[in-house]
Structure 1
Amino acid sequence: MKHASCAALCATMLSPCAWAQTAATTPDVATLPTVVIQATQATDLARQDLEAEQALTPGAVTLVDGESLRQRSVTSLADLLRYVPGVWAASGSTGDSAFLSSRGSNLDATNYDGNGIKLLVDGLPVTAADGNNHNRQIDPLSASHATVARGANALTYGASTLGGAIDFTTPTARDGARNELLLQGGSHGQWQGRVTLGGTSGDLDGLLTAETRRADGYRRHHRQERTGFYANGGLQINNAVQTRFYASTIDNQQQLPGVLTRQQWQDDPSQAEAAAVAGHYRYNVKSWRLANKTVWDIDADRKLSVGVSVENQQLYHPIVYAPPFFSLLIDTRQRTLGSTVRYQQRMGAHDLLLGLNLARTTVDGGNYSYTPGGAQTLSAAVDNRADNLELFAMDRWRFAPNWTAVYGAQLVSTSREIVSAGLQGDYNAVNPRAGLIRQLTPTTQLFANVSRVYEAPTLYELEDETPGASRGTLLKAMRGTVFEVGTRGQHALSPRNHWHWDLAVYHTRLRNEILSQDDPRAPGTSLSINADGTVHAGIEALVGGSFALGEGGRYRAEPTLNITVNHFRFRDDPTYGNRVLPAAPKFVLRGEVLVRHASGFFFGPTFDIVSSRYADFGNTYQVDAYALWGLRAGWNGKDWEVFAEARNLADKKYVSQFSVRNVAAPNAAILTPGEPRSLYVGARLKF
């Protein structure tokens, strides 16, 4: 009965509700494009392009509106992805990082490697050539939109990973981005400020954002200090060609509070792991990135875009301290050079896309044993390399009224080399895809697809492989087939009442899934294996609406409900049988019910319901389910807005994320506590 009230609220929200988008009520997530579009600003045109891309994908794609993120506290990707179904995002170990899993990707040594989802900024990959997102940081408030293509629906980005891809579109002065000042602060000593300035002059435009963030954290030894600069400048060479340069730099200094046993978590979730304090665990990253993207609109039916990027990340990461037996400090530099080419052409009923991604990543430095503030002794040199080529082609064929066939394939050729260990491997595959879209009404679709997913091991997984080179074998690439059906759209119940939905059901059978577990002999490091067979299946739904309250129409109720149901299991595995895969919950419900007034004022409750999860492959250690509730309120004016957000008002103890073991002992130190009762406020001034 403890979740009865939340369950009743969810059931109420699943009934057909209304949805109407106004200038003051931009939702976090959009579905199909509206039938009548009157806005003509460049920002609206950019959004229309993203919505059109979503409508031509026969699978799950979610759009997140960056404007709506300013109406609540957002410091990490977990906050940004709150209303994206199918994605399990959990924060807690560092100030702005998050553990991400999409459709069951990365269900292993959490918060270490971060593979399974391809990340892009303005269509240019920022994920390393080997597929890892290790110590990569993206500022969510620097995105005007984010496009989340789950699973094989990321083919338009050249990705075939299990989790798909997320593309962050940054604002530009040419697209109408305004100057703004944003201030936020609240519990646990957190505050952040950012200022954006930009403008246009003839064929030139530029935009610069400077941000700083400070937080003490809700646990001991959890302090963060971060600064960042983001800039882009464009040149309209002629009516057909435009080029844009991007530059960013981030300096993040982050203490790590470590992990707790279950008893420690129950006694005092705010405490830090003793070793984390003694070893002064940190996650310090300095990074910079330069990129260029040039677009040539050859004519009304043909477009060519070419992009290049270079990125450098310096990681200083003391993570294990157990003298005199073992200590670990990772001090490495990761450099990635990438390029992309995309050619689009419309030919009658066909819409053809050809693409090429090239990337090379090198990692050098070393792993050290160390004494905090004292000597460092090299224990293993790091000299790793990865090359990646993705060639993809897709056709969208409108072969009959209201019918579109979408088909294509990706060719991937990638290599990995661990110089210090003498390991080298090449991975090659062709991954086809075929789908169908049925347009039932101008705003309602049915879709289905069958696709191949493929993912080679990262450099970190190869390094951590067991038994690895001792048997003369390397980890195999993960591959499988996914079937998906779904529907999305919006429907008017009356002139003032609308509702919208986005539903996908998928089933994936994998071979050689790469799984990692925390090494109990050296906490903070992992061991990797290939599982014989696994199943990843689920239901992903986003339901929302907007409906008038009373006769005057000045008040509207706007509910949003994100529903994710997961079925991730081994399949007749000789070791694990049909046990449940760890880390991801069986179901997640996240939602809110906002009441908005025509003046711009809004308020309402938020809630999270998360089922239990296993922390080991043996299914012997279960992390409890939890339910949280909070409140949001704010007021939007023409050139300003303010908000307040309260989280976990019942101050419930819960586990946000954890390390995964093969078989976890009852007293294993693997738990990361979630955020306690917290209050945040913010304001934005546009000028």
Structure 2
Amino acid sequence: MHAATGWFPGSSPLRRRFGWLLLPPALVLSAAAEADETTLPDVVVSASRAEQRRFDAPAAIDSIAVNPLTATSPLVSLSELTLTSPGIAVRDRQNYSQDLQIAVRGFGSRSTFGVRGVRLFVDGIPATMPDGQGQASTFDLANASRVEILRGPFAQLYGNASGGVVQVFTPDPPSSGFTGRASTGFGSDGQWQAGVMLGGGNDKLGATLDAWTYQTDGYRDHSAARRYQLNAKVVAQPTTATKITGQFNYFSQPLAEDPLGLTRAQADANPRQAIGAATQFNTGKDVEQTQAGVVVEHQLTERDSLNFRLYGGGRQLTQRLGFSGAAPTSAGGIVDLDRTYGGAALAWTRKTTANGLPLQWTAGIEANGMRDARHGYVNDNGQQGALRRDETDEAADYGAFAQFNWTVHPAWEIVGGVRASMVRLRIDDHYITAASPDDSGTSTYHNVSPVLGAVWHAHETLNLYANLGRGFETPTLTEVAYGPGGTGANLGLQASTSRQGEIGMKWQSGGQRLDVALFDADSHAEVVPLANDNGRTSYQNVDGVRRRGLELGWRGAFGAAQRLTAGLGYTYLSAYFGESFVNAQGATVAAGNRLPGTARHSLGAEVAYRPWGQWMVGVEAKADSRVYADDLNTQAAPGYFIVNLKTGYTFKVGATQLYVFGRIDNVADRRYFGSVIVNEANGRYYEPSPGRRFFVGLRASL
């Protein structure tokens, strides 16, 4: 562990270099780039948009070090990395057509596809669209250096749908010389992964290029997938005051079959099956996405710096749903989407003093937009049929923000900020018939999100903090598309607002650290389903949704050589409806019903031991309590407990370092449901997880 630093009596001041509020630079230390499981990640930027130690951050935040050489998993899914991170639920649905389910403190649990309620970023570039819906499938985990997970009120300063923030950071190119890495691996259910990374440069110019592929036959019938990804990063530093980072990303998923959900009886009879509609309509999704961006960081003076980002991209998607959609009032069973998106932001950071103590603040503006050409067609047994939907959807968000850290006493900091946001959704309907009236319209949402907190550096090994803030989440374009009865748009749907508070403690000493946080959040106008008509789901607002709980995270290393390491993450979450309402089936949801998709208790733990430096053996354990699948709380996935085994061995051949690894997941071959499809209209809520399976791989680094 690093020695604690901060504004303590008799100690030197904490040195902080403040970054950009919405676009922190890729702050990658060489030690982090070569970190392994024994390292406790130290640097974060997400909480205060500043480079600082995780221990000193004024909020609940995890920094997960990623070593693409010595990771004991294929690094395809974020769920591989978050086992011991409390407060976040990342459910691998074993369905690459629908992406992961990601929720932070219960925010995002309602999503049936994509990610909602949680903001996603890669090297500061948003992976969440202006309407609040994001995709985690494009994360470049095979070349990541760390993942940061921000929970609580300070996430609200990221704007719309900030129940939490997940940021993936990739390393900068080497400042001298050349580096290379190659990997391959295979496992159960036809899994195969391969990738390569090349990088080189000097102190003025450097670049990295990585490419990888992953394919699987799938655990269930009709769940095969293939993915390809290419990422490039160029960093130029023409002067000591200016740094320019260029990024390019290409993602292709030409195959992602969707086995659809199962009823409880179907899942109990054969968890690997796909229902007949999956094969009849060839359910699945094809995706291609291209994105490029540039970041400019310029130091004006010793105290002032400017940061600028500009990015843009395109996404093409074809999705075949599990019904024909032939009815005149239907939107069709095939979705065809052509999206363009982009954005820009500018921020000014100033470091100064007040009463002889540090005061640092950042202020800026940003704008992001997207435009979808959306078509719907009849699904004629897997083939494209007649047109049923033709519209242009647009979303834009504009924000102005300011944030400060003020050391008012050697042992006290006041932290705070405010963000003013405007989000505009627009639908231009070009398919107008007697059965499908004009759905065109516009809706605009405004919100001001203040956050205020305090940090007490009680001791060099102990920090205490408290925060209070307010945030909001607009409905997505998908959620405003249809009004009650499946006709007309629902642009009168309100944005959800929330009040969040937390108190926390961070302790670290002697190779161990402990984080504890208590949180409470009240939401008004939460978005929930209202009705489903011919595949057209409409939504409504309900009040009084409550999320409260406890997070506990612990990590430690033992012995003179730290051969034994262990970690644990536990979350208690009480998420429920505070007021009754009528659901999509016309039934009354009672006040006090649990929020579907949330587990009251979640636990993740791991232990790793190195008999000698080159060899590692480890055990992982994961447990979730019961998860309800519907608002009525009549359907639920039982709780489960599974154990995984892993091992890895490092050796050298000449100048090449090699790492061979293997893992067995679900050693006891338990049957369980890793995820549920919340409020699935046909009652097929359950997505079974695999039984016992293995993965082995080999990586080489030069």
User: Residue 621 of structure 1 aligns with which residue?
Assistant: 635
Structure with bigger RCO (C-alpha 8 Å, 6+ apart) = 1
Instruction: Confirm or deny: 8 A CA contact 1:95 1:217 kept in the other structure.
Output: no
Instruction: Confirm or deny: 8 A CA contact 2:127 2:136 kept in the other structure.
Output: no
Following superposition, the deviation at residue 297 of structure 1 comes to 1.8
Q: Which amino acid aligns with 2:286?
A: N
Q: C-alpha distance in 2, partners of 1:649/1:500?
A: 29
User: Residue 26 of structure 1 aligns with which residue?
Assistant: 36
Q: 2:387 aligns with which of 365, 378, 384?
A: 378
Q: C-alpha distance in 2, partners of 1:323/1:128?
A: 27
- Aligned in 2, Cα 1:309/1:324: closer, same or farther, shift over 3 Å? closer
User: Residue 244 of structure 2 aligns with which residue?
Assistant: 243
2:579 aligned with 1:572: yes
Following superposition, the deviation at residue 356 of structure 1 comes to 2.1
User: Residue 58 of structure 2 aligns with which residue?
Assistant: 58
Q: C-alpha distance in 1, partners of 2:383/2:124?
A: 43
Following superposition, the deviation at residue 53 of structure 1 comes to 5.9
- Aligned in 2, Cα 1:410/1:324: closer, same or farther, shift over 3 Å? closer
SS at match of 1:108: coil
Q: 1:503 aligns with which of 501, 507, 516?
A: 516
- Aligned in 2, Cα 1:387/1:520: closer, same or farther, shift over 3 Å? closer
Following superposition, the deviation at residue 223 of structure 1 comes to 1.0
User: Residue 198 of structure 1 aligns with which residue?
Assistant: 199
Instruction: Confirm or deny: 8 A CA contact 1:288 1:313 kept in the other structure.
Output: yes
Q: 1:343 aligns with which of 329, 340, 348?
A: 348
1:635-666 Cα distance to aligned partner (Å, 9 max, x none):
2347222211110011111112222228x88x
- Aligned in 2, Cα 1:133/1:242: closer, same or farther, shift over 3 Å? same
Instruction: Confirm or deny: 8 A CA contact 1:160 1:431 kept in the other structure.
Output: no
2:692 aligned with 1:677: yes
1:290-326 Cα distance to aligned partner (Å, 9 max, x none):
1000110223322211011101110110012258767
SS at match of 2:239: coil
CA RMSD of aligned residues (A): 2.8
Counting helix residues as a fraction of each chain, which structure ranks higher? 1
Instruction: Confirm or deny: 8 A CA contact 2:454 2:465 kept in the other structure.
Output: yes
Q: C-alpha distance in 1, partners of 2:54/2:95?
A: 33
Following superposition, the deviation at residue 469 of structure 1 comes to 7.9
User: Residue 257 of structure 1 aligns with which residue?
Assistant: 259
Following superposition, the deviation at residue 258 of structure 1 comes to 1.2
User: Residue 460 of structure 2 aligns with which residue?
Assistant: 442
Following superposition, the deviation at residue 471 of structure 1 comes to 10
Instruction: Confirm or deny: 8 A CA contact 1:151 1:160 kept in the other structure.
Output: no
- Any unmatched runs of 5+ in structure 1? 1-20, 34-43, 493-497
Q: 2:367 aligns with which of 358, 369, 387?
A: 358
Q: Which amino acid aligns with 1:270?
A: R
Which has the higher mean CA deviation after the structures are superposed, 158-167 or 463-472?
Answer: 463-472
Matched ranges for 1:475-486 at <5 A: 475-486=493-504
Following superposition, the deviation at residue 467 of structure 1 comes to 6.5
Instruction: Confirm or deny: 8 A CA contact 2:213 2:228 kept in the other structure.
Output: yes
Following superposition, the deviation at residue 25 of structure 1 comes to 6.7
2:647 aligned with 1:646: no
User: Residue 121 of structure 1 aligns with which residue?
Assistant: 122
Q: C-alpha distance in 1, partners of 2:277/2:490?
A: 36
User: Residue 159 of structure 1 aligns with which residue?
Assistant: 159
Q: Which amino acid aligns with 2:172?
A: T
2:229 aligned with 1:228: yes
2:552 aligned with 1:544: no
TM-score when normalising by structure 2: 0.86
User: Residue 72 of structure 1 aligns with which residue?
Assistant: 72
Q: C-alpha distance in 1, partners of 2:130/2:608?
A: 42
- Aligned in 2, Cα 1:23/1:582: closer, same or farther, shift over 3 Å? closer
SS at match of 1:260: coil
SS at match of 2:266: helix
Instruction: Confirm or deny: 8 A CA contact 1:203 1:235 kept in the other structure.
Output: yes
Q: 2:299 aligns with which of 290, 293, 297?
A: 297
Following superposition, the deviation at residue 365 of structure 1 comes to 2.6
SS at match of 2:95: coil
Q: 2:322 aligns with which of 317, 320, 323?
A: 320
The number of residue pairs the alignment matches comes to 641
User: Residue 270 of structure 2 aligns with which residue?
Assistant: 268
Q: Which amino acid aligns with 2:637?
A: V
1:350-396 Cα distance to aligned partner (Å, 9 max, x none):
11011322101111130111224544211111310011012110110
User: Residue 410 of structure 1 aligns with which residue?
Assistant: 419
2:450 aligned with 1:432: yes
- Aligned in 2, Cα 1:472/1:296: closer, same or farther, shift over 3 Å? closer
Following superposition, the deviation at residue 187 of structure 1 comes to 0.9
SS at match of 1:105: coil
Following superposition, the deviation at residue 24 of structure 1 comes to 8.1
1:316-347 Cα distance to aligned partner (Å, 9 max, x none):
10012258767511110121111122221111
2:600 aligned with 1:600: no
User: Residue 280 of structure 1 aligns with which residue?
Assistant: 282
- Any unmatched runs of 5+ in structure 2? 1-30, 430-438, 582-587
SS at match of 1:283: strand
- Aligned in 2, Cα 1:30/1:413: closer, same or farther, shift over 3 Å? farther
1:49-105 Cα distance to aligned partner (Å, 9 max, x none):
976164453211111112178422132122233332111111124248311111111
Instruction: Confirm or deny: 8 A CA contact 1:219 1:271 kept in the other structure.
Output: yes
SS at match of 1:263: helix
Instruction: Confirm or deny: 8 A CA contact 2:370 2:396 kept in the other structure.
Output: yes
Q: Which amino acid aligns with 1:422?
A: S
User: Residue 149 of structure 2 aligns with which residue?
Assistant: 148
Q: C-alpha distance in 1, partners of 2:689/2:242?
A: 49
User: Residue 23 of structure 2 aligns with which residue?
Assistant: none
Q: C-alpha distance in 2, partners of 1:123/1:315?
A: 24
Instruction: Confirm or deny: 8 A CA contact 1:287 1:311 kept in the other structure.
Output: yes
Q: C-alpha distance in 2, partners of 1:298/1:424?
A: 41
2:423 aligned with 1:423: no
Following superposition, the deviation at residue 619 of structure 1 comes to 1.1
User: Residue 558 of structure 1 aligns with which residue?
Assistant: 565
Instruction: Confirm or deny: 8 A CA contact 1:213 1:226 kept in the other structure.
Output: yes
